Amino acid sequence: MTFLPEFLTVVVVHLLAVMSPGPDFVMTSKNSLVYSRKVGVYSAIGLGLGILIHVTYSLMGISLIISKSILLFSVLKFAGAAYLIYIGYKSLRARSQKLQVKEVGGNDLGSLAAIRMGFFTNVLNPKASLFFFALFTQVISPQTPKTIQVLYGLEMSVMTFVWFALVATILSHKLVKARFISVQHHLEQLFGVVLIALGIRVALSSSK
More confident call, 100 vs 65: 65
Contact by Cβ (8 Å): 43, 31: yes
* pLDDT per position as a tens digit, 150-205: 999 999 999 999 999 999 999 988 887 777 766 666 667 777 788 888 788 777 77
Specify the pLDDT at position 103: 43
Q: Give the residue among 118, 85, 76, 82 at the shortest CA–CA distance from 207.
A: 76
Mean pLDDT, rounded, for 7-20: 91
Name the phi and psi angles at 172, rounded to 5. Answer: -95, 0
CA-based end-to-end distance of the chain: 35
pTM for this prediction: 0.80
Helices and strands (H and E) in the chain: how many:
10, 0
Report in angstroms the alpha-carbon separations of 87 from 23, 25, 50, 153: 11, 14, 17, 28
Asked if residue 104 has pLDDT above 60, the reply is: no
Q: Which residues contact 132 (CB under 8 A, 6 or more apart)?
A: 54, 55, 58, 63
CB 159 within 8 A of CB 43: no
Using the predicted structure, report yes or no on whether residue 49 has a pLDDT greater than 90. Answer: yes
pLDDT tens, residue by residue, 113-146 = 999 999 999 999 888 888 888 888 888 888 889 8
The tens digit of pLDDT for each residue in 70-89 reads: 777 788 778 878 888 888 88
> Comparing 64 with 167, which gets the higher pLDDT?
167
Question: Does residue 140 contact residue 55 with C-beta atoms inside 8 Å?
Answer: no
Q: Is the pLDDT of residue 33 over 60?
A: yes
Residue 105 in this model has a pLDDT that exceeds 70: no
